[in-house]
Amino acid sequence: MKKKSVIKVAAVTGAAMTAVLIPLGGTSYAAGCNSTGCEGKGPVSMNCDDANTTTARTVNNNGRIAELRWSSTCDAAWVRVHNTSSNPTYNAFGSIEKYNSSGTTLIKSFSLAVPDSGNDWSNMLGGASYTYRVCVRFQGNEYPLKCSTKF
């Protein structure tokens, strides 16, 4: 009788372990960071660029586009840039700026080059109690700096 009990326990334990290891269809994976814990991390690698991400602000400076992307899942923001101009002669940069809650003091910013084609994005700046804006500037100042309103 003792032998049958051991076999039953092993079978039940094995079935329970298998059920835990099989992922469920449609399971969403949690974000890898939240709020200021997202600071300096990539939005894609942290699963912050999901269905809850919005484009909060957009700046177009002579065909160079900077979008302020906001993730309500992660309470973090980043800039996504792309080029719609047929003239890639001038090098442009998109940036995201993080301000204190009243929007008066710049705390931190990230900048990246606008690619000739495709999209690129910065690392994140985090925290829902801050304000953010995006800007596009040109390396040789061929066009004036353009920035969004704060979000």
Structural domain contains residue 8: no
Per-residue confidence (pLDDT) for residue 140, from 0 to 100 = 87
Count the domains in the chain: 1
Q: 141 falls in which pLDDT band (50, 70, 90)? A: confident
- What CATH number corresponds to the domain at position 119? 2.60.40
CA–CA dist 119, 71 (Å, integer): 18
Structural domain contains residue 57: yes
Tens of pLDDT along 64-76?
999 999 999 999 9
Q: Bridge-partner residues for 59, per DSSP?
A: 66
Cα distances (Å, whole numbers) of residue 51 to 16, 18, 40, 115: 33, 31, 21, 25
Is a pLDDT exceeding 70 seen at residue 28?
no
Structural domain contains residue 96: yes
Structural domain contains residue 110: yes
Structural domain contains residue 24: no
Structural domain contains residue 21: no
Q: 43 falls in which pLDDT band (50, 70, 90)? A: very high
Write down the pTM of the prediction: 0.78
Structural domain contains residue 75: yes
CA–CA dist 68, 81 (Å, integer): 9
Structural domain contains residue 143: yes
Residue 109, judged by CB atoms within 10 A of its CB (0-12, 13-18, 19+), counts as: middle
State the residue range of the domain holding 113. 35-147
